[in-house]
Amino acid sequence: MSSTPPGVFQRKATGLVREGRTRDALFYNIMWSSVALTFGFFWLFYAVYPGANAIIGFLIAGALGLPGAFLYAMLTQVMPRTGGDYVFNSRALHPSIGFASNFSYVFWLAVVIGVYTTYIAEYGLAALARTIAGYTGATWWLDVASWLTSSWGLFIVGTLLLIGSATLFALGGLRLFFRIQFWVFIVYVLGALLLPMLVGLFSGDGFAGRFDAYAANLGVTDASTKLAASATDAGFASTSFSWSETLKSVSVWWFIFGFIYSSNYFAGEIRMQRRTHLFSMPGAVALVVIILLLLTPSFLNIAGYDVMAQFGLADPASYGFAGAPAYAEIVSIASGSGIIGSIVIIGFAVSMIVWLPQTILLASRSMFAWSFDRVVPEQLSAVEPRTRSPLTAILVMLALSIASTAVYAFTDWFSSLAALLGLSFTLLVTAISGVVLPFRHPRLVAGTSFGRRVLGIPLLSLVGGLAVLGFGTAITILLIDPWSGASLSEDPLMIIVVGVVYVVAVAIYLISRAIRRRQGYDLDLAYRELPAE
């Protein structure tokens, strides 16, 4: 037995130090939050948000996500179980709502995965092929880049990557994935974050000259002039700062700050230190803000807002590209070095590649939680004995992901941001859970350090209320921003689709409940609070 802090006596027993470290959960949240992808996105989207200020945009997005980060941390501390928001919402609101909100989250993850697979092909592999052509003059690499950005190129490469991710789990299980992920993270930080900062700081003036030289190897002379001319034809005009455009651009940054709490999904597998989640979730928000505060000005030092907007608007063929360059390729051009450029593009690509298995893993954890409560058949969480991989769940997610890749490769049904609305509604439901939990399960909350009241309001309800405001504002922006893929003006069907997914999920729950009752199981028992008086 030991006496730890003053006044606390612990005896010899198992589990006293079986706790995860804060930095590991922080690391996980940052890995999943797609900083590089979003940053890459923004410079393309900048053309459609003329006058938007990147720094103000991500600061607003960070502020909207911060109360939610605290709320997720608190709820994870109160109910640390595998399944994350499914557990919170099914217990705090109603089992059908908990299932529907989590089902919707998994559905929209399956939709958004197509963004990643097609972007890997277009802005990762195609950009890499073009970089090799741009620095060596070997023009057949241009044909490779062109094929990679064609519909079939996007689909085939995306599908192969997805099958590779699923095979990784099937053959090597989680252990192999995490071993790979560690090295991927190093490449990601070096290539997608540190090198761009350094190139931005030290590349100096002369981007236009380097771009011209690079494009000359692709067969186009005086490319910077042609870029500007094509952008002007497409409607580009230098614009002064605009608050409304800056607010709308929050849609893009929401890709990071709306989804930086994912460590809640493995909370059930390891007991965290008392304040781990409080540091790792809001901490991830703060850390990403710092990264972006460093990355943005250094990137702006390369070529400035106007050139970035031109890249977003101009026809890529006018300056010899098969597709507009994302920030990784722009950094590559600015570096003037094929090797540095390749490392940056590889870092950018692997940050998206690793997101695929991470997402499959997250979805399979949710499916496990549904299956554990018998809402869906047990087979969905069946585990392969040797690797402990949930094979059925992985196969289901693989099929959905390939379908999503096909949609993004061959159609324009969804914009890159379209899934954000569906994903954000789950966040909003969780925020409402935070508000009502202290009233529906007072004992559950009272036993934690979040049981106190502020101005007579339960602390959890107060933070939940702020999260409702944050998530609600973000959803409002998505509904207003015509480029979000979910705006009421341009894509009025999207909110109906989001609603239909919820209705389908509630129906699945109710049907499952009826079937289980006939089989002798009462699903309601899984969520029933036992009296403790």
CB of 184 to another protein, least distance (A): 8
User: Which residues 102-161 are close enough to bind another protein by CB under 8 A?
Assistant: none
Q: How many residues bind another protein (CB under 8 A)?
A: 72
Which parts of 254-283 interact with another protein (CB under 8 A)?
266, 268-271, 274
Site for another protein in 8-27 (CB under 8 A): 8-21, 24, 27
Which range, of 95-103, 340-348, 443-451, 502-510, touches another protein by CB under 8 A?
443-451
Name residues contacting another protein, limited to 325-384 (CB under 8 A): 372-374, 378, 383
440 binds another protein (CB under 8 A): no
Report the distance separating Cα 96 and Cα 164, nearest Å.
Answer: 34
- Least distance from C-beta 488 to another protein, angstroms? 38
* Binding range to another protein, per CB under 8 A, among 198-206, 319-327, 333-341, 521-529: 521-529
417: which residues sit within 8 A by CB, 6+ positions away? 251, 252, 255, 478, 483, 484, 485, 486
Query: Tokens representing 205?
Result: 């003036």
The residue with tokens 């009752």 is 517
Instruction: Tell me the helices (H) and strands (E) count for the chain, helix number first.
Output: 23, 6
The nearer residue to another protein, 212 or 373, going by C-beta atoms, is: 373
Question: Nearest Cα to 467, choosing from 439, 420, 428, 426?
Answer: 428
Kindly calculate the radius of gyration of the chain based on its CA atoms and give it in whole angstroms: 24
Q: Are 28 and 279 in contact (CB under 8 A)?
A: no
Of residues 161 and 375, the one with the C-beta less far from another protein: 375
Among 3, 240, 411, 489, binds another protein (CB under 8 A): 3
Return the range that interacts with another protein (CB under 8 A); candidates 72-80, 119-127, 320-328, 394-402: 72-80
Is position 507 an interface residue for another protein (rule: CB under 8 A)? Answer: no
According to the binding rule CB under 8 A, does residue 185 interact with another protein?
yes
Amino acid at position 292, single letter: L
Q: Is 177 in the site for another protein (CB under 8 A)?
A: yes
How many whole angstroms separate alpha carbon 370 and alpha carbon 358? 19
CA dist 244 and 49 (Å) reads 9
3-state secondary structure 365-409: HHHHHHHHCCCCCHHHHCCCCCCCCCHHHHHHHHHHHHHHHHHHH
> According to CB under 8 A, which residues from 299 to 328 bind another protein?
none
Q: How far is the CB of 13 from another protein (least distance, A)?
A: 4
Q: Which pair of tokens denotes residue 72? A: 């997720």
Instruction: Pick between residue 24 and residue 315 the one whose CB is nearest to another protein.
Output: 24
> How far apart are CB 80 and another protein at their closest, in Å?
7
Beta bridge partners of 454: 457
CA atoms of 277 and 226, how far apart (whole Å): 51
Q: How far is the CB of 532 from another protein (least distance, A)?
A: 4
469 binds another protein (CB under 8 A): no
